[in-house]
Amino acid sequence: MSVRLFNTYSRQLEDFRPLDPAGQQVKMYTCGPTVYNHAHIGNFRAYVFEDLLQRHLEARGFVVERVMNLTDVDDKTIRGARAAGRRLADFTQVYKDAFFHDLETLRIKPASHFPAATEPRYIERMIAMIGQLEAQGIAYQAEDRSVYFRLAKFPDYGKLAHLNLDELRPSGRVNSDEYEKENIGDFALWKAWNEADGEVRWESPWGPGRPGWHIECSAMATALLGPELDIHCGGVDNIFPHHEAEIAQSECCTGRKFVRHWLHCAHLMVEGQKMSKSLGNFYTLRDLLEKGFTGREVRYALLTVNYRLPLNFTIAGLEGARAALGRIDEWVARIADCSAPVSASAELPAELAERMPAFFAALDDDLNISGAMGQLFDLIRESNSALDHGKLTPAQAAALLADWQRLDRVLAFQRESAAVPAAVAALLEQRQQARAAKDWAASDRLRDEVAALGWVVKDTKDGPKLSPAAA
Ligand SMILES: [Zn+2]
């Protein structure tokens, strides 16, 4: 069974195979937030999709090394810091901290690396890459003292976005980090300092200035993951010009194909409209928490729509997420209550047993999460019915609970403080008696039985502490 993913570059479903000859290590780069503001739920849709991708690849045995960068210098951060009358680093730190907090609330696994563009080693690398491009005749310094990428030198520019550059005539130079398709032109690698930048400046062979947004990602990606990446993700908004520029810069510097699989998630709408501050439908995660929703409800609403489909985010949808999670919670509590400790794994009835592989097979199919959730809800319905009819043994309920824990390592939907099931509490009590009698063998055996039910016992000086096995 192989994982198949839609590659934006080829516009085709492709079998996923990492570059690692052993087929195990996966190098994945995901464009992170620009820390001038609190990230909004459109941003988080991309981060939640990337989290699902990472967790599913891990469930399939891959070892994922993931980089998510923090853009802490660009047009927007500089403007924001000036408006706030603060130093750039102080201004962005507030939003970096908030971002990490939000990731935790949404149960997004931390990346292996969170490089920030302004770290000296990355600035040095950006300058070195621009210098190399200049030496190759690909970059040039213009009259405005900024350094630009000469698009004519990279015929593949536009291939990711499937733009025909012969039809869209390049129009001069573009100094802004973001621009429309009509303005295709040589993009800035290094922006010469001007008054609006205030004290934000680094010395370079081209005079004082700062890097362009695109070169930041090329430098951090190749510094941490090497010249070739297995997967690069982002939202569809990133495809042009940002990811096109990343490809052009990186491939001209390394001479290698930068990325094997490009994945992009579709737009998010709110109540059927484009999210905008003027329409009053612009949500950060905080806004939703203030309305009384939890991080896991927002996660559910963002995660359960297939990533290549537009997501219409609504308050009714969040209420639906709450109801769906309630059904899952109720079911998990029920099978936990019915479970008995088992030494040998019990076989599930065939119609239940086939749901697990079908769940993962759906995700293999370009992360078909709606198909996967359909399998989960069928499993819930069928196993509830089996329990109603007394057709599941306690050992089978325990096997089902273990299955749920495997699914939840991908979904991360488990209720925060799941009540301790009676069977687990009883085992813990027996274990305390064994420990009091210094019967360490029995104590260890009982700890394993507790673990088989999905709980971890930790002995502390205040006595044993129980927690659900980590998602
Ligand atoms: Zn990027």
Cβ-count burial of 451 within 10 angstroms (0-12 exposed, 13-18 middle, 19+ buried)?
middle
For the entire predicted model, the pTM comes to: 0.88
Rounded-to-integer distance, Cα 345 and Cα 334, Å:
19
Quote the ligand 1 centre to 214 CA distance (angstroms): 6
Quote the ligand 1 centre to 411 CA distance (angstroms): 26
Backbone angles phi, psi at 34, to 5 degrees: -95, 115
54, 97, 219, 355 from 118: Cα distances, Å = 27, 16, 11, 48
Rounded-to-integer distance, Cα 66 and Cα 52, Å:
13
Quote the ligand 1 centre to 213 CA distance (angstroms): 8
Quote the ligand 1 centre to 423 CA distance (angstroms): 49
The 10s digit of each residue's pLDDT in 227-249 is 999 999 999 999 999 999 999 99
Q: Is the pLDDT of residue 417 over 70?
A: no
CA atoms within 13 A on the CB side of 181: 13
Q: Is the pLDDT of residue 329 over 90?
A: yes
The 10s digit of each residue's pLDDT in 283-322 is 999 999 999 999 999 999 999 999 999 999 999 999 999 9
Quote the ligand 1 centre to 71 CA distance (angstroms): 8
Quote the ligand 1 centre to 416 CA distance (angstroms): 33
Q: Is the pLDDT of residue 435 over 70?
A: yes
Quote the ligand 1 centre to 243 CA distance (angstroms): 7
Contact 240, 181 (CB under 8 A): yes
Quote the ligand 1 centre to 31 CA distance (angstroms): 4
Quote the ligand 1 centre to 339 CA distance (angstroms): 47
Rounded-to-integer distance, Cα 322 and Cα 296, Å:
9
314, 304, 58, 10 alpha-carbon torsion, rounded to 10°: -90
Quote the ligand 1 centre to 111 CA distance (angstroms): 15
The 10s digit of each residue's pLDDT in 367-412 is 999 999 999 999 999 999 999 999 999 999 999 999 999 999 999 9
- Mean pLDDT, rounded, of the chain: 93
Residue 11 has a pLDDT of 96
> Which one, of 168, 196, 162, 166, lies nearest residue 180 by Cα?
168
Quote the ligand 1 centre to 246 CA distance (angstroms): 7
Q: How far out from the chain centre does Cα 320 lie?
A: 23
Look up residue 313 and give its two tokens: 């985010």
Q: Lowest-confidence range among 81-90, 248-257, 262-271, 337-346?
A: 337-346
Quote the ligand 1 centre to 217 CA distance (angstroms): 5
Quote the ligand 1 centre to 234 CA distance (angstroms): 8
Averaged pLDDT, 180-184? 77
Rounded-to-integer distance, Cα 380 and Cα 360, Å:
16
Averaged pLDDT, 151-156? 93
Quote the ligand 1 centre to 124 CA distance (angstroms): 18
- Listed in sequence order, the residues at least 6 apart from 178 whose beta carbon sits closer than 8 Å to its beta carbon are 213, 241, 242
Backbone angles phi, psi at 456, to 5 degrees: -110, 130
CA angle, 397 as apex, 396 and 398 as ends, to 5°? 90
Quote the ligand 1 centre to 32 CA distance (angstroms): 7
Quote the ligand 1 centre to 235 CA distance (angstroms): 10
Quote the ligand 1 centre to 237 CA distance (angstroms): 11
